[in-house]
Structure 1
Amino acid sequence: MTRVTRSLPVLAPGPTEVPFVIKGYDEVVEHDTVWDEHSHPFHELLWNERGASTAVVGARVWTITPAWGLWMPAGTLHSGSAVAGTWFRASFFGFPTTSSISGTPVAVEITPLLRLLLERLGDPGLPGHSRAATEALVLDVLAPSPRELLVRMPTSALLRPIAEVVREDPGDSRTLADWASALGVSPRTVTRAFNAETGTSFARWVAAVRAQRAVALLGQGWDVEAVAEHVGYRSASAFGAAFRRTTGLTPGTFRAR
């Protein structure tokens, strides 16, 4: 399948040539697409109408879906990717806005109210006073989500082989003890390294990687049983329990949203 790479400039935070408070953009990507590292002079809210995409800031990898978006502050270097057929949306916030929810990237739940307000701003016939009122409501309801589909990638020489294999094949069944034996170190050494580099345990890190892959496959229309097998769970029920612990939703609920 054709893969397209897009390059965008690296721009510092600052006023834009055409002032706006909130401006929307959307696109259905025809091919698997990668965006090289770039930054915007304005804040950006990334979310999807259909499918899943990723955004990368340093060693942090977020999955963006119709349920969870990502707030990207002005001037933040980031890259991204989306598979063919993804319908992604972006809302650009003029810099500075009257309110910024965070100075660092954070997940944002795309609630029905927030979605409705953002879609309303896409109406070209919306009167000026209505637009101003809707923009004010968007700024008022924007808030960080308590949940996010985030994986912090370990970068040390010790953990890099594990990260590369699991990211490529989330169904890999090797345990922490298996990896420690293969790398010639103790399980305690691997445990300490994972906690230090990712802020979580090996098991939770693997569960997060599996959840990210599962979200992408569910977004492409895979059934729950096939996704469960692909990402390494022995049954759909075990997969559903793990998915819910990570995302707060059942696989079926996520597909419906």
Structure 2
Amino acid sequence: MDGVETSLRASALNLPEGGLLPEHDHRWDQLAYAVQGVMAVETEQGRWVVPPHRAVWLPASVPHRIRAGGPLAMRNVYFPPDTVRALPRRCCVVGVPPLLRELILDLIGRPLPLGNTRAHVEALLVELLAELDQEPLILPMPRDPRARRLAEHLAAHPDDRRPLDVLAREVGASPRTLQRAFLSQAGLSFRQWRQQMRLHRALVLLAEGTAVTAVASRVGYESPSAFVAMFRTLLGTTPGRYFNRR
């Protein structure tokens, strides 16, 4: 940490349920941390869901918009260009361990002039970014108009269990065409994309305190056990343990 004087910026922002930050970008890199509530973040690259105690990394000059799923308490840290080399030049969701959380909150409450204590807090915060685990919470969206229409429908109705051959007729495309579009443009098979979409919606519902049984039904699973199996496959743990991590 010797010689590191980054002079970061930090801010707090609270949004009501459904509150929207319209599309914008920043000259500095941004780490947006969800203290409470769920962020839904959208860029050209795709959509992310950011549950409590996670953060989304937003590189400079990336247009994005943020919607609050439930009352949202967001804490932001902004980094001058080239300060953070440990995180990619693309958006991603990361876990926020307790020490990093406390440093973020400390910066927001600390005066801006760069004294020794603040300089050490900033240097340690930047150093900790190299240790963050990325979480697979992106939902890439296909560009093909028919595939996009199908994706938007399912995102709005995650409990729609109809198979692809039935859904394909509604958007005027063959199942094979849609499969190719999802795979080539979203990087996922249709089945994988649908699973990821359901996970997105489930995380919002779980963060709101909805019971696992109800969540499973509302995102299209026939049983809670099938839903928990999907959750464990994608995130490596059960819903209860995931939301109890700090």
Q: Same fold (TM over 0.5)?
A: yes
In the alignment, structure 1 residue 133 sits paired with structure 2 residue 120: yes
Amino acid at match of 1:68: R
* Correspondence for 2:104 among 118, 126, 130: 118
Partner of 1:253: 241
CA distance in 2, matches of 1:243, 1:37: 30
**Which of the residues 175, 194, 217 maps onto 1:187?**
175
1:7-22 alignment runs, 5 A limit = 21-22=7-8
Q: Work out whether residues 69 and 109 of structure 1, in 8 Å CA contact, stay in contact via their aligned partners in 2.
A: yes
Corresponding residue for residue 222 of structure 1:
210
Q: Post-superposition shift, 1:175? A: 1.6
SS of corresponding position for 1:85: strand
Aligned CA distance change for structure 1 residues 237 and 138 (closer, same or farther; 3 Å): same
- List aligned pairs for 1:54-93, cutoff 5 A: 54-93=40-79
TM-score (norm 1): 0.83
CA gap 1:224/1:125 in 2 versus in 1, 3 angstroms: same
- Aligned-residue offset at 1:92: 1.4
Quote the RMSD (CA, aligned, Å).
2.4
Look up the match of 1:46: 32
Determine the C-alpha separation between the residues in 2 that align with 1:94 and 1:160: 36
Query: 136, 159, 179: which is aligned to 2:147?
Result: 159
Tell which deviates more after alignment, 95-104 or 154-163. Answer: 95-104
Change (3 A) 1:30 1:68: closer
Q: Quick check: 1:208 aligned with 2:196?
A: yes
Identity between Structure 1 and Structure 2 (%)? 33
Q: Supply the distance in 2 between the matched residues of 1:75 and 1:205 (Cα, whole angstroms).
A: 27
- CA separation of 1:125/1:188 partners in 2, compared to 1, >3 Å: closer, same or farther? closer
Compute the displacement of 1:125 (Å): 7.1
Matched residues, number = 239
CA deviation map 1:28-58 (0-9, x unaligned):
3234211111111111001201111111111
Cα drift, residue 172 of structure 1 = 0.7
Aligned to 1:15: none
Gaps of 5+ in 1: 1-18
Matched with 1:9 is none
Q: CA deviation at 1:251?
A: 1.0
Q: Is the partner of 1:74 in helix, strand or coil?
A: coil
Measure the CA separation in 2 of the matches of 1:93 and 1:147: 21
1:29 aligns with 2:18: no
